[in-house]
Amino acid sequence: MTEKKKAVETAEPAVNPDAPLSQLLLDCTKEKYRLVSLATRWAQEVKVRDQSTLQPQELLDVALKEIMLKKVTLEAIEKLPPPPKVEKKDIEFTLPTLSLKDVPDEPADKAVEKE
């Protein structure tokens, strides 16, 4: 009987897939600091997998939700190879060239008005 009690105590509560992410994080029983680290790695995988154009925060939300809903385990994420290094390209831009032309003298009409 003691084995059954231990099994019941260690079982994680059911996760509601419709719950907002904030509620899932509050109910999380996993190591939260480890979760954050691995969620950023999983967000990179999601971006490549889905060829996503989502903003980084939205990608992180998707990654966290997939982890919380147990679509992927933390152990599986740890086994992933490190993400490829992205080469930072220098931004090349050109400014329009401005040339100053000689400003013509005042027109004769205005010169006469001043006198």
Q: How many residues in the chain?
A: 115
* pLDDT of 37 strictly over 60: yes
Q: What is the pLDDT of residues 54-65, one digit of tens each?
A: 888 888 888 888
Predicted TM-score (pTM) of this structure: 0.55
> What average pLDDT score do residues 4-30 get?
62
CB 43, CB 62: distance < 8 Å? yes
Alpha-carbon torsion 29, 34, 36, 42, what sign? negative
Residues with Cβ < 8 Å from 114, sequence gap 6 or more?
A: none
Structure tokens at 108: 């004769």
Strand, coil or helix: 30: coil
CA–CA dist 12, 8 (Å, integer): 9
Instruction: Note the pLDDT of residue 100.
Output: 73
* pLDDT of 109 strictly over 80: no
Which residue do the tokens 């003298």 mark?
105
More confident residue, 27 or 40: 40
Best CA proximity match to 44, nearest among 66, 29, 23: 66
Q: What is the dihedral of CA 44, 69, 27, 58, to 10 degrees?
A: 40
